[in-house]
Amino acid sequence: MLEVRYRSAAIFVLPVAASLLIFQSLSVTLAQNSNSISTQNMIKPIKYPTPLKSEQVDDYHGVKVADPYRWLENLDSPETAAWVEAENNLTFGFLNEIPFPGSRTARFVGS
C-alpha cells in the first residue's frame, strides 16, 4: 500500500520538477543568446585602472610577505586619490548606463 502512494507522488512530482528545470535552463539560454541592442550595449570590455605596484616586502619572523599595494594604504597621497577617482569614474559610469540609475546609485552614494 505504501509503495503505491509513493509511486503516485513520484508520477506527479517528477514531471513538475523536470519542467521547472527545463524552463529555467531555457530562460538562462535565451538571456545569454539575446541579440537585442540593449543587451549588446551592456556587454562591453571594461578597462580597469592599473594600480601601481611597489617592491615592498615585509619580514614577519623570518617569513617574507610581498605587499605591492602598500601605497594604497596612504589615504592622503595624490596617487591613492587619483586611483580611487579612476575607480569611481569606472563604477559610476557603468551604473549610470543601467536604466533608471538614480534608484540604484542612490544606495551607493547615500542620497
pLDDT, one tens digit per residue, over 14-27 is 666 666 556 565 55
The full set of domain ranges for the chain reads 1-33, 44-111
Return the residue matching grid coordinates 559610469.
93
pLDDT of residue 20: 56
> Which H or E run includes 6?
helix 2-32
- Quote the CA–CA distance of 105 and 95 in Å, as a whole number: 7
Record the pTM.
0.50
pLDDT digits (tens, 9 = 90+) for 24-73: 655 555 555 555 666 666 677 788 888 889 999 999 999 999 999 999 99
Return the residue matching grid coordinates 506527479.
12
Chain centroid to Cα 65, Å, comes to 29
Question: Given phi > 0 = left and psi -120 to 50 = alpha, else beta, which region is 61?
Answer: left
Q: What's the whole-number mean pLDDT along residues 69-89?
A: 93
Better pLDDT: 101 or 79: 79
pLDDT of residue 99: 73
Q: What are phi and psi of 15, to 5 degrees?
A: -65, -35
